[in-house]
Chain A
Amino acid sequence: MEKEKKRQVIAIIITVVLSIISLGVAFAVFSGTLNINGTATVDTIKWDMYFTTANDGEKPSESTTIPSGNIQISNIDPNVTPTVTATGSMVATTLTWDAIFRTPGDRVMYTVYVKNGGTFNAKVTDVNMPIPTCTIKTGTAQQEAETRVCGHIHYGLYNDTAGSSAVAVDQTIPAGTTKAYYLIAWLDTNWAQDGSDLPTETVKTNQISATVSFGQN
């Protein structure tokens, strides 16, 4: 009796164990893996505004002379031969120019390009064109002469060769495009007719530091 009872208990335990194992086995069989496969890409973006010497030109990594074909000299009076000596260069975000005038009305125009080499549209956010100043030597007469002569020197950055449309805030350069600008400097013709106020000594401006700023449009 005892033996039979013990045998039954063992059988029950085994059964229970088997059931549990089976249950475990049953759980292990019922399973599946859900896979989620994907990719994320970060697009190349770039912000790059710079001077260049040609339409869609390369970014000058070192000082590059403005080609002579991009420098036009003239005189405001078409009947007068210009007497201008002009040079210029650029590197990345800096344009440097120098002009020497001898005759009232002398004018020089530099054709330069600004390229938006980035992936964002850009717009002009600020234009700063300070009035030229000249080195003033000691002595009242010379000071007066240099101040007077300095007042005859003018310059500006324009959208057109005639110098009628100045570069202004909110003008745009779409991404990947190049815009031509015209840096024009000239000596006006508002001098005394008898030449009495022509400079008796050479007058040179201090460095004119102008800027044009671009921001994302």
Chain B
Amino acid sequence: MEKKRGVTIAVVAALVIAVISLGVAFAAFSTTLNINGTATVQATKWDIYFSNSAYSSQSSSKPSSSTPIASITPSNGAGFTTTASGTGNITSATTIEWSASFKTAGDRVTYAFYVVNDGDFNATLDSTGTSGLTQVGVTNFTCTAEGGQTGAEESVCAHIHYGIYTDSAGTTPLQTGTSLNAHSSNQYYLVAWLDNSYGGNDGQSLAPVDVTTATITTTLAYTQSSSAVSNN
């Protein structure tokens, strides 16, 4: 009888243990999903600069040191023999410094240069940050008369003009929004002149002393454009 009771207890215990084990096996269900990936950033470049040469895929035209502007053309728009002269340098890849001297009404100096996009991203001349594309004396810059003479500088300053143009004749001003694609260049013309009305008909308003402008500053701000990146 005792033996029979012992067997019964053992069987019940075994059943209980089996039920508990079954419960434990259900809670262990799990799965791990694997997400394996790689990301690559390709080598790219953003590089826009001034140059005397157009873009070339064979060699860089980026000036490594201060370089004289190669094309400086004096002329006279009033039909007179020009008495203009000018100097200019690409002092760093992103800076041009120029100086012009006028004597005769109509005197004019034209500097030709390139803006090169040697990077991998198309660019646009952005209205934000671009300034001074065309400048008229007095309105946009001041002048100083030699010896501090007052009066002369204002009257002369008003006859001095300057601008950046897409043509050598200076008829088409450079506009913001102009594209400059990757691996290409645009040629522009910096034109500074003394207008034809300087001095009047009687020459009474001619400056008795040298009149010099303050530094005329123009900024070309390029930003990445929405067009596709070059795959060159």
**Pairwise interchain contact B42-A202, C-beta atoms closer than 8 A:** yes
**Pairwise interchain contact A153-B39, C-beta atoms closer than 8 A:** yes
Interchain Cβ contacts under 8 Å between A and B, 27 examples? A49-B31, A50-B31, A81-B229, A88-B37, A93-B33, A96-B36, A97-B37, A98-B38, A99-B39, A102-B41, A102-B44, A125-B30, A149-B41, A152-B41, A155-B37, A185-B39, A187-B39, A195-B119, A198-B46, A199-B41, A205-B38, A205-B40, A210-B35, A211-B32, A211-B35, A213-B30, A215-B29
**Pairwise interchain contact A202-B31, C-beta atoms closer than 8 A:** no
Taking the nearest CB of chain B, how far is it from the CB of A36, in angstroms?
Answer: 19
A58 to B46, CA, bound (A): 46
Does B153 lie at the interface of the complex (its beta carbon under 8 Å from any beta carbon of A)? no
**Pairwise interchain contact A208-B38, C-beta atoms closer than 8 A:** yes
Known contacts A49-B33, A80-B225, A100-B42; 18 additional CB pairs below 8 A are A93-B32, A94-B36, A97-B35, A98-B39, A99-B37, A103-B44, A103-B229, A157-B35, A187-B41, A195-B121, A202-B43, A203-B40, A203-B41, A207-B38, A214-B30, A214-B32, A216-B26, A216-B30
A96 to B45, CA, bound (A): 30
**Pairwise interchain contact A216-B27, C-beta atoms closer than 8 A:** yes
Does A79 lie at the interface of the complex (its beta carbon under 8 Å from any beta carbon of B)? yes
Q: A81-B228, A198-B45 are in contact. Are A101 and B40 (CB under 8 A)?
A: yes
Provide the residues of chain B in CB contact with A109, threshold 8 Å.
none
Does B187 lie at the interface of the complex (its beta carbon under 8 Å from any beta carbon of A)? no
0/1 per residue, B113-155, Cβ < 8 Å to A?
A: 0000001110000000000000000000000000000000000
Residues of B in contact with A, size category? 20 to 34
Taking the nearest CB of chain A, how far is it from the CB of B125, in angstroms?
Answer: 15
Does A183 lie at the interface of the complex (its beta carbon under 8 Å from any beta carbon of B)? yes
Does A10 lie at the interface of the complex (its beta carbon under 8 Å from any beta carbon of B)? no
Provide the residues of chain B in CB contact with A132, threshold 8 Å.
39
- Which residues of chain A (101-155) have a CB below 8 Å from chain B? 101-103, 114, 118, 120, 122, 125-126, 132, 149, 152-153, 155
Does B224 lie at the interface of the complex (its beta carbon under 8 Å from any beta carbon of A)? yes
A104 to B32, CA, bound (A): 33
- Which residues of chain A (148-203) have a CB below 8 Å from chain B? 149, 152-153, 155, 157, 183, 185, 187, 194-195, 198-203
Provide the residues of chain B in CB contact with A203, threshold 8 Å.
40-41
A213 to B30, CA, bound (A): 7
Taking chain A's interface residues, is the majority helix, strand, or loop, or is none over half, making it mixed?
Answer: strand
B residues in contact (CB < 8 Å) with A: 26-27, 29-47, 119-121, 224-229
A162 to B33, CA, bound (A): 22
Residues of A in contact with B, size category? 35 or more
A176 to B55, CA, bound (A): 62
User: Nearest 10 A-B pairs (CB), nearest first?
Assistant: A195-B46, A97-B37, A49-B31, A47-B29, A210-B35, A215-B30, A204-B40, A213-B32, A94-B34, A100-B40
Provide the residues of chain B in CB contact with A93, threshold 8 Å.
31-34
Does A212 lie at the interface of the complex (its beta carbon under 8 Å from any beta carbon of B)? yes
Q: A194-B46, A195-B45 are in contact. Are A101 and B39 (CB under 8 A)?
A: yes
Provide the residues of chain B in CB contact with A195, threshold 8 Å.
45-47, 119, 121
**CB-based nearest B residue for A157:** B35
Q: A80-B224, A195-B46, A215-B30 are in contact. Are A208 and B229 (CB under 8 A)?
A: no
Does A37 lie at the interface of the complex (its beta carbon under 8 Å from any beta carbon of B)? no
**Pairwise interchain contact B31-A101, C-beta atoms closer than 8 A:** no
Provide the residues of chain A in CB contact with B33, threshold 8 Å.
49-51, 93-95, 114, 211-214
